[in-house]
Structure 1
Amino acid sequence: MHLTIFDTPVVNTVLRALSVTFLKLTGWKVEGSLPANCTKSVFIAAPHTSNWDLPYTLMVAFALRLNIYWMGKESLFKPPFRGIMMWLGGIPVQRESANNLVAASVAAIQAADGPLQLIVPPEGTRAKARYWKTGFYYIATGAQVPIIMAYMDYEKKVSGLGPVFIPTGDIDADMATIKAFYAPFKGRNADQFHAN
């Protein structure tokens, strides 16, 4: 995977301190920690209802000392912003080629020498979505890594890492369990999120 802001020592240290300070001053609480056996994992990013999710996700990642990569639509990576978005951990996604994306993500996780947490929003968009995409599930099963149920609740101002979820292979049952966990959380635009 490409070099990111999380791999840049001095910048990482400064931004971690700023992130922790900002989150505290604005009343946000960060919960959980990454288990030692989950340094390679797939994070569910939900609810995803606003552009504000990205800066808050980056700050929470700094606070929790994570090494995240996140998926975003290709249009976010147009010049002159491509370099900065990649440095922030972004991976451009062409939504029409989801199968290739799953295979490429699996290969990247398997090839990574160090920690790598890949964040995937199951809604696939911050707009109102009734159905969740299952790419995160197939990436995790293909790479044989756990799923971390990460969350951001704007109503309660709490974000963090929830339970580790190991896929069973029964995708219908697993998705029902995952969605039940996310049902109480409120995105910035709460009416756009449906965990069902």
Structure 2
Amino acid sequence: MKKAISKALLRMAGWKVGPMCEDVPKCVICVAPHTSNWDFIVGKLLYTALGRNASFLIKKDWFFFPFNLFFSWLGGVPVDRQKHTSVTDQMVEVFNKRKIFQLAITPEGTRKRAEEWKKGFYYIAQKAQVPIMIAYFDYAKKEAGIKGLFYPTGDAEKDIHTIREYYRDVTACHPENFVQV
């Protein structure tokens, strides 16, 4: 039911589903460009329309009643910033505990212009030994999809440059806030 409703809402909004890749049980989903709050809505609808369920990071502070029920339902994973372990280690622990876990992360870390990407998504995937799924929103084409899977090699600088190349021809909602490679 959720799948059909999500497909219908995407169509009503004029969005189409672009290329897809194989579904893997565990991955970090690199979501870019991220320049608008609409990205979350389009991304959630797309992934639900595919019959998939992605999780996302959210401050543990937001996990109180009744918001905890809503954010859990959406796929939110609370991050405890007071813990003495890194977010990377916390997420690797979640990957190790679950048979299926797909974690969506926006490497820009903000909707504002970001010259450099944050590398946490990469280090989580590398340490958890899972691929990076390359998801995109192209507002010019009104298309959202997945360009493929990328397996970290251990050379973060080179790998992130390669991943950013996948987004070369993608138009953000606010193109002035998306730095092309």
> Do the structures match in fold with TM over 0.5?
yes
Q: What SS class does the counterpart of residue 151 from structure 1 fall into?
A: strand
**What's the counterpart of residue 191 of structure 1?**
176
1:106 matched to 2:92: yes
Which residue among 116, 126, 141 is the counterpart of 1:141?
A: 126
Q: Which one-letter code corresponds to 2:42 in the other structure?
A: Y
Residues 42-61 of structure 1: CA deviation (Å, up to 9, x unaligned)? 10010111111111111001
Q: What SS class does the counterpart of residue 166 from structure 2 fall into?
A: helix
**What's the counterpart of residue 44 of structure 2?**
58
**What's the counterpart of residue 72 of structure 2?**
86
Structure 2 CA distance, aligned partners of 1:96 and 1:181? 35
Call closer, same or farther: CA 1:156–1:140 in 2, change over 3 Å. Answer: same
Q: Which one-letter code corresponds to 1:26 in the other structure?
A: A
Call closer, same or farther: CA 1:96–1:129 in 2, change over 3 Å. Answer: farther
Q: CA deviation at 1:142?
A: 0.6
Residues 140-193 of structure 1: CA deviation (Å, up to 9, x unaligned)? 111101111011111111101111101111111111111111122122222111
Gaps of 5+ in 2: none
8 Å contact from structure 2 (residues 21, 147) kept in 1? no
**What's the counterpart of residue 7 of structure 2?**
20
Q: What SS class does the counterpart of residue 28 from structure 2 fall into?
A: strand
**What's the counterpart of residue 31 of structure 2?**
45
8 Å contact from structure 1 (residues 183, 194) kept in 2? no
Percent identical: 39
Higher helix share: 1
Q: What SS class does the counterpart of residue 102 from structure 2 fall into?
A: strand
Q: What SS class does the counterpart of residue 8 from structure 2 fall into?
A: helix
Gaps of 5+ in 1: 1-13
**What's the counterpart of residue 182 of structure 1?**
167
Structure 2 CA distance, aligned partners of 1:52 and 1:101? 25
Q: What SS class does the counterpart of residue 106 from structure 1 fall into?
A: helix
Q: What SS class does the counterpart of residue 150 from structure 1 fall into?
A: strand
Q: Which one-letter code corresponds to 2:31 in the other structure?
A: A
Structure 1 CA distance, aligned partners of 2:96 and 2:34? 26
8 Å contact from structure 2 (residues 18, 144) kept in 1? yes
Q: CA deviation at 1:103?
A: 0.4
Structure 2 CA distance, aligned partners of 1:190 and 1:43? 21
Call closer, same or farther: CA 1:142–1:34 in 2, change over 3 Å. Answer: same
- TM-score, normalization by structure 2: 0.88
Q: CA deviation at 1:34?
A: 4.4
CA RMSD for the aligned pairs?
Answer: 2.3
Alignment of 1:99-178 (within 5 A): 100-113=86-99, 115-178=100-163
Call closer, same or farther: CA 1:134–1:161 in 2, change over 3 Å. Answer: same
Give the number of aligned pairs.
181
Structure 2 CA distance, aligned partners of 1:57 and 1:76? 21
Structure 1 CA distance, aligned partners of 2:115 and 2:39? 19
Q: Which one-letter code corresponds to 1:129 in the other structure?
A: A
